[in-house]
Amino acid sequence: MCGIVGYNGSSNAAEILLEGLSKLEYRGYDSAGLAVRSGTNDVVIVKAKGRLRVLAEKTNDGKALKGTLGIGHTRWATHGEPSENNAHPHVSDDRNVVGVHNGIIENYQELKEKLLRHDYTFYSNTDTEVAIKLIDYYMKKYKEGPIDSIARAMTRIKGSYALAVIFKDYPEEFYVARKDSPMVIGIAEGASFIASDVPAILKHTRNVYYIGNQQIARIGKGTVEFFDIDREPVELQMEEVTWDAEAAEKGGFEHFMIKEIHEQPKAVKDTLNAFIKDGRIDLSEAGLSDEYIASINNVTIVACGSAYHVGLAGQYVIEKLVRIPVRVDLASEFRYRDPILNADDLVIVISQSGETADSLAALRLAKERGVSTLGIVNVVGSSIAREADHVFYTLAGPEIAVATTKAYSAQLAVMYGLAVQFAKVRGQIDEETYAQLIAEMETLPKKMERVLEDKERIQWFAAKYSNAKDMFFIGRGIDYAISMEGSLKMKEISYVHSEAYAAGELKHGTISLVEDGTLVVGVCTQNSLYEKTRSNMAEVKTRGAYLMGLTSYGNYAIEDTADFTVYIPRTSEYFATTLAIIPLQLLGYYLSVARGLNVDKPRNLAKSVTVE
């Protein structure tokens, strides 16, 4: 949530900052602001409510602001309504300190009361203003400089934050600090960049540092120094970003989402190739030895949103293949039910960004309980990647659209690899079955491309039903997990009221919601459950529903029930989710386009949820 950028070099900062913020607008869009300075001149601040284009127009695309050092911010409101007053950057009373912030300060009211007693005044309703004025308070009280004042503030602040701060008396540098919120620092010849996410700086440099938790950095022109919260210098390893810069651009597609839907075959192929070597699965890079795999007695999968739906699909596959108990938990609930965890458990945490606040908190709880953890993440150097005992990277590349598609599919590929290897190591499948399953996994990218070839039919269907007000997705087993993700895609980008139900539960209340014209999507990829789900589809049809069926080629009897049918290539039932989800992603996408909505930046949502 919220996007931060910063620049210190010799070029016009405002133009670079606006360009960077445009790459981060998926993180926030309620308001935006810039703070720019030239040498020892005062910092100039410009803020605007609404989308980033309003700020761009206000500053003539940055050309109206002169200066070679600056910070910028695009906001997703948490404390205080969206307004120019609440927009970042925020300033101390005498403009001695200027800063932007991503995260939530939980004890801001307590800190605000302290500052009020010391004659500070407040103009906004944000927790960020409190943080900036707290830094200013310590700067004036102890007179030990920026590193000291930021460190003292960090010891008092409870919550999560990434901060970028400019000090009036230090015109050649600015400072950043972080705790549980992402921040990347890029270095080029004579210039430095900061951002909440890599795409914002990828045009300018591939050499980056991932600042550690509770660390501070001094950002000069092409230089950076790191300090811990005790003000002691620390050394960090520079890393090279291997993403192609064009991967973060639309590449001729109308929206990032449709581009990323089409990138799914490559994301799955690259992820599979990372652990399938010469026809066998190798999990050594994730630190998972055969001996360790054999010692696991229970698996708990913790995630949020679409990653949670990956966990649900993974639960079915792992339990069927490996025959060990699997529990799937929403990360936002995991801590609060005081989970029972044992030393021989494995807690798997799934997060595209590796910074999801609830998932990170779940990981830390598991580690506190002495339980081994595995992070499945897409961002190298992210908090979950650094803190998990074992790390499995998905190779989806940058995902810009708020609604995840290719990261979801890459996460599924990892779950398949874990399930098949666990089953082989634990003696649940023989060598022949092992080889067959691996061979089938390797066919998935080509089969995904075949599904994408049918997109025009789905586009036609979505346009026909673009005025739908209610929609239901039904399925059994793995098909229920598919339905949940399909329903989420529909509601998050098209704003259609959509629900997913286990098909067998319809008669326990849900069927009362079905009336003439209600659109119901029946997912039927599991042969043993095919007829049961088709029977449930017939039940809702007799009550007036319009039915879309989703099944594998060969199951043509579904056309006797469904009004419109989409087919996917046949594959192992364990892996059906990877193919079946694509038509549902396309359905949500095209319905949103038909309704004239902002597909990539749906209202009230942000890409990475870094606050609880």
Given 112, 168, 601, 607, the catalytic residue: 607
Mean pLDDT over residues 454-459, rounded? 90
| 66 vs 37: CA distance, rounded Å | 7
Helix axes 431-452, 406-425, angle to 10 degrees: 170
What's the distance, CA 192 to chain centroid? 25
Q: Find tokens 């599919």 and name the residue.
A: 409
Instruction: Give yes or no: 607 in active site.
Output: yes
Tens-digit pLDDT profile for residues 212-270: 889 999 999 999 999 999 999 999 999 888 766 556 666 678 888 999 999 999 999 99
Q: Which helix (H) or strand (E) holds 225?
A: strand 224-228
> CB–CB of 291/435 below 8 Å?
no
Q: Please give the pLDDT value at position 532.
A: 85
Q: Please give the pLDDT value at position 241.
A: 83
| 457 vs 459: CA distance, rounded Å | 5
Q: Identify the bridge partners of residue 499 per DSSP, sorted by sequence position.
A: 472
Cis amide bond preceding 339, omega within 30: no
Alpha-carbon distance values, 337 to 302, 340, 347, 365 (Å): 13, 9, 15, 12
| 66 vs 60: CA distance, rounded Å | 12
Higher pLDDT, 179 or 417: 417
Percent of the chain topping pLDDT 90: 66
- CATH for 455-594 is 3.40.50.10490
Instruction: Give yes or no: 2 in active site.
Output: yes
Higher pLDDT, 508 or 363: 363
| 380 vs 393: CA distance, rounded Å | 7
Are domains 250-448 and 455-594 of this chain identical in fold? yes
Q: Please give the pLDDT value at position 398.
A: 81
Give residue 139's pLDDT band: very low, low, confident or very high (50, 70, 90): very high
Q: Please give the pLDDT value at position 538.
A: 77
Give residue 371's pLDDT band: very low, low, confident or very high (50, 70, 90): very high
Q: What is the mean pLDDT of the chain?
A: 90
Using CB atoms within 10 Å of the CB of residue 539, give its burial: 0 to 12 exposed, 13 to 18 middle, 19+ buried. middle
Q: Identify the bridge partners of residue 373 per DSSP, sorted by sequence position.
A: 347
Tens-digit pLDDT profile for residues 299-308: 999 999 999 9
Strands in 470-475's sheet, in edge-to-edge order, are: 497-502, 470-475, 519-524, 546-552, 564-568
Q: Where are the domains of the chain?
A: 3-241, 250-448, 455-594
Give residue 344's pLDDT band: very low, low, confident or very high (50, 70, 90): very high
Q: Please give the pLDDT value at position 163.
A: 96
CB atoms within 10 A of CB 369: 14
Tens-digit pLDDT profile for residues 35-61: 999 988 899 999 999 888 899 999 999
| 482 vs 448: CA distance, rounded Å | 15
- CATH for 3-241 is 3.60.20.10
CATH superfamily of 250-448: Glucose-6-phosphate isomerase like protein; domain 1 (3.40.50.10490)
Given 2, 112, 179, 266, the catalytic residue: 2
